[in-house]
C-alpha cells in the first residue's frame, strides 16, 4: 500500500510506463494472413533474384570503393522497381580503407609462399616489404601473457582453429584474435601480426575481416593465413629453428568517405509513423561477391516486404528495409542509423536483421517487454511449421547492425540461421552465389514475412523505449 501512491504518480508522469503495462495482442485474422504469407514465401524467388542481381551486376562491395556507390545506385533502383512507397538515403561517414596488393612468404628456414590476406584497417608494410622472425602463440591469452622482450621487432602469430557448429560459436574466438590481436601485439613491440583465418574450411583461401587499433596504439601490418598455410607455418615453427617471414602488404586508410544507408518503406495504413525494421548490410569484403555476407540479408528482407506489399491492404504500421553501409569495418551504418533515430526509438516497434547467411533458420529469440511475450509466442506458433523453435530465455538483439539500434532501446527479435556452413566461406573469395541454397533462402523469407507482418499489425508495442534493453549485450 505504501508504495502505491508514488507508483501511480510515476505512471501518470510517464506515458511510456503506462503503455508498458498493457499486453500486446495479435488478432486471429492476422495470424491467418501471416500463415498465408509463410506459404507464399516458400514459392517466391524475389530474394534469390535480388541476391543474384546484386552479386552479379555489382559484385564485391568494399565500403568506400567505387562499387560502394554502384551498389547504392543499384539498390535504390531495385527498391523503387519493387514498389516500395518511399526510398531514401541517410549519410554515413567513415575512414576509407583500401587494398591494393598482398604477398607473404616464409624466407627461412624452408622458403615458400604463404596464402594470406590483409585485415581491414591494416597499414601497409614499408616499400620492399617487412621481414622478421615469427613468434607463435596458440591463443590470444598466450599473446596477452607474453613478455614484450620476446616480441620486440618480431611478427606475432596467433593460431586457434575454429570448428563448425550450428550457432557458429567459435567465431567469437576467431574474431577476437583478428580484432584485438594486432593491437595487443603492437603494444608489446611487435612489427607485424599474422593469424590463422577465422574460418572453418580447409581451402587455401584466407579470411579477411576488420582489425582495430585504438588511438595511441601504433597500427602494424596484419594479415590472415589460410588454414592450410597456418598449419604449414605451425609445422615450420615446431621444427625449432628461427622462422623468418616476409610480408608485403600495400593497403591502408586513405582519408574519409561518406556513403549511405539506403532505406525503403511500405507506408503503414493506420500508424505510418511506427515501423518494423529489417535488413542487412550492403557492403561486403572485396575478395568474394558478398553473397552470403550479406546480399542474402537484404534479399530476405526485400522478399518478405514484397509479399506483404502484395496484400490487398498495407498493414497498420510501416515496414522498413535498411541496406546498411559499412558493417564490415565496424558497424558504421548501424551506429549512424541508431544515432539518427534514437530520439524516435519508441516508433521502431521491433527489428530483426539477417547477417549470418541464408541457411535454414532453426531458432527464434527476442528481447521484448514482458507484456509482449505472449504475442511473441503466438508468432512462434506461426513459425513452427518452418521448423523454427522458440527459446524464450535468450535475448534477441535483432542482428549485427540492429544491435546498435537495440542498444538505444529498440525491441529486437533474432531469427537464428544454421551457421554450420557459413564460416567456411565468410570473408573469403568463396563467398559467392553458388553457396546460397534457394530452398533454404525461401524458408528465411517465410520467417521474416511472418514476423514483419505480425509486428506491423500487433495491437500494442514490444517495449521499444530509450534505454529499455540497456543490459542486453550486442551479438
Ligand atoms: Zn556480415
CA of 255 to the centre of ligand 1 (A): 23
Percent of the chain with pLDDT strictly greater than 70: 95
Cell of 191: 612489427
**Contact 292/431 with Cβ under 8 angstroms?**
yes
Alpha helices by DSSP H, listed for 268-350, are 296-309, 332-341
Cα(143) to centroid of ligand 1, in Å? 27
CA 401–ligand 1 middle distance (angstroms): 9
Residue 285 Cα, ligand 1 centroid: separation in angstroms? 9
Beta strands in 28-150 (DSSP E): 86-108, 112-114, 116-118, 130-137
Q: How many CB atoms lie within 10 A of CB 238?
A: 9
Distance of CA 60 from the midpoint of ligand 1 (Å): 13
As annotated, the residues of the chain forming the CATH 3.50.30.30 domain(s) are 100-254
Q: Could you tell me if 62 and 285 are in contact, meaning their C-beta atoms sit under 8 angstroms apart?
A: yes
Ligand 1 centre to CA of 26 (Å) is 32
Measured in Å, residue 150 CA sits from the centre of ligand 1 at 36
Q: What is the DSSP letter of 344?
A: G
Can you state the percent helix, strand and coil of the chain, rounding each to 5?
40, 25, 35
- pLDDT tens, position by position, for the chain (475 residues)? 334 434 434 444 444 444 457 899 999 999 999 999 999 999 999 999 999 999 999 999 999 999 999 999 999 999 999 999 999 999 999 999 999 999 999 999 999 999 999 999 999 999 999 999 999 999 999 999 999 999 999 999 999 999 999 999 999 999 999 999 999 999 999 999 999 999 999 999 999 999 999 999 999 999 999 999 999 999 999 999 999 999 999 999 999 999 999 999 999 999 999 999 999 999 999 999 999 999 999 999 999 999 999 999 999 999 999 999 999 999 999 999 999 999 999 999 999 999 999 999 999 999 999 999 999 999 999 999 999 999 999 999 888 999 999 999 999 999 999 999 999 999 999 999 999 999 999 999 999 999 999 999 999 999 999 999 987 754 4
CA of 63 to the centre of ligand 1 (A): 12
Q: How much distance in Å is there from the Cα of 135 to the middle of ligand 1? A: 31
Tally Cβ neighbours within 10 Å of residue 433: 18
CA-CA distance, 231 to 228, in Å (whole number)? 5
What are the pLDDT digits (tens) for 414-463?
999 999 999 999 999 999 999 999 999 999 999 999 999 999 999 999 99
CB 367 within 8 A of CB 396: yes
CA-CA distances (angstroms) from residue 346 to 22, 352, 406? 15, 16, 11
CATH 3.40.30.10 fits 22-92+258-457, yes or no: no
Measure Cα distances from 92 to 70, 173, 407 in Å: 16, 29, 19
Q: Residue 352, SS3?
A: strand
Ligand 1 centroid – CA 18 distance (Å) = 38
Q: For domain 100-254, give its CATH number from 3.50.30.30, 3.30.1330.40, 3.40.50.720, 3.40.50.300.
A: 3.50.30.30
Interval between CA 373 and ligand 1 midpoint (Å)? 29
Query: What's the rounded Cα separation, in Å, for the pair 301 and 292?
Result: 14
Distance 372 CA to ligand 1 centre (A): 29
Ligand 1: centre distance to CA 57 (Å) = 20
Å from CA of 467 to ligand 1 middle: 25
Number of neighbouring beta carbons within 10 Å of residue 129: 17
Q: How far is the CA of 142 from the centre of ligand 1 (A)?
A: 28
The neighbouring-strand residues paired with 264 are: 87, 321
Work out whether strand 412-417 and strand 361-367 pair parallel, antiparallel, or are unpaired: antiparallel
Q: Which residue ranges does the chain devote to CATH 3.40.630.10?
A: 22-92+258-457
Ligand 1 centroid – CA 279 distance (Å):
11
Give the DSSP H or E segment for 366. strand 361-367
| pLDDT digits 0-9 by tens, 37-76 | 999 999 999 999 999 999 999 999 999 999 999 999 999 9
Amino acid at each position: 500500500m505504501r508504495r502505491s501512491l508514488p507508483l501511480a504518480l510515476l505512471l501518470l508522469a510517464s506515458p511510456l510506463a503506462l503503455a508498458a503495462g498493457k499486453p500486446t495482442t495479435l488478432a486471429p485474422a492476422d495470424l491467418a494472413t501471416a500463415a498465408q504469407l509463410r506459404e507464399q514465401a516458400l514459392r517466391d524467388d524475389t530474394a534469390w533474384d535480388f541476391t543474384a542481381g546484386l552479386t552479379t551486376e555489382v559484385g564485391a562491395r568494399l565500403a568506400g570503393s567505387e562499387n560502394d556507390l554502384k551498389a547504392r545506385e543499384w539498390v535504390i533502383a531495385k527498391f523503387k522497381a519493387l514498389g516500395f512507397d518511399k526510398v531514401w538515403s541517410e549519410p554515413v561517414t567513415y575512414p576509407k580503407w583500401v587494398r591494393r596488393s598482398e604477398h607473404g612468404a616464409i624466407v627461412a628456414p624452408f622458403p615458400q609462399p604463404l596464402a594470406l590476406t590483409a585485415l581491414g584497417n591494416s597499414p601497409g608494410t614499408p616499400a620492399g616489404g617487412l621481414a622478421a622472425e615469427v613468434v607463435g602463440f596458440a591463443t590470444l591469452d598466450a599473446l596477452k601473457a607474453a613478455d614484450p622482450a620476446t616480441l620486440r621487432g618480431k611478427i606475432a602469430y596467433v593460431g586457434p582453429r575454429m570448428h563448425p557448429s550450428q550457432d557458429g560459436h567459435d567465431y567469437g574466438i576467431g574474431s577476437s584474435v583478428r580484432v584485438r590481436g594486432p593491437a595487443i601485439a603492437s603494444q608489446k613491440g611487435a612489427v607485424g601480426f599474422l593469424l590463422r583465418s577465422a574460418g572453418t574450411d580447409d581451402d587455401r583461401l584466407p579470411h579477411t575481416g576488420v582489425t582495430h587499433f585504438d588511438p595511441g596504439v601504433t597500427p602494424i601490418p596484419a594479415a590472415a593465413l589460410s588454414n592450410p598455410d597456418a598449419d604449414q607455418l605451425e609445422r615450420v615453427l615446431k621444427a625449432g629453428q628461427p622462422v623468418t617471414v616476409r610480408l608485403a602488404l600495400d593497403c591502408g586508410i586513405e582519408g574519409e568517405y561518406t556513403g549511405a544507408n539506403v532505406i525503403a518503406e511500405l507506408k503503414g495504413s493506420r500508424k505510418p509513423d511506427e515501423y518494423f525494421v529489417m535488413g542487412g548490410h550492403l557492403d561486403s569484403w572485396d575478395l568474394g561477391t558478398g553473397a552470403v555476407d550479406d546480399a542474402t540479408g537484404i534479399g530476405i528482407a526485400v522478399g518478405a516486404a514484397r509479399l506483404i506489399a502484395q496484400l490487398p491492404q498495407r498493414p497498420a504500421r510501416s515496414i522498413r528495409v535498411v541496406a546498411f553501409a559499412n558493417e564490415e569495418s565496424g558497424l558504421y551504418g548501424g551506429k549512424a542509423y541508431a544515432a539518427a533515430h534514437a530520439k524516435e526509438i519508441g516508433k521502431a516497434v521491433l527489428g530483426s536483421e539477417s547477417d549470418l547467411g541464408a541457411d535454414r533458420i532453426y531458432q527464434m529469440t527476442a528481447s521484448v517487454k514482458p507484456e509482449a511475450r505472449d504475442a511473441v509466442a503466438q508468432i512462434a506458433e506461426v513459425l513452427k511449421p518452418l521448423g523454427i523453435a522458440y527459446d524464450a530465455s535468450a535475448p534477441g538483439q535483432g542482428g549485427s547492425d540492429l544491435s546498435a539500434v537495440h542498444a538505444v532501446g529498440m525491441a529486437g527479435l533474432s531469427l537464428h540461421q544454421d551457421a554450420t556452413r557459413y564460416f567456411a566461406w565468410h570473408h573469403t573469395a568463396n563467398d559467392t552465389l553458388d553457396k546460397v541454397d534457394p530452398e533454404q533462402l525461401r524458408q528465411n523469407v517465410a520467417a521474416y514475412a511472418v514476423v514483419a507482418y505480425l509486428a506491423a499489425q500487433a495491437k500494442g508495442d514490444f517495449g521499444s523505449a530509450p534505454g529499455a534493453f540497456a543490459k542486453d549485450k550486442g551479438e
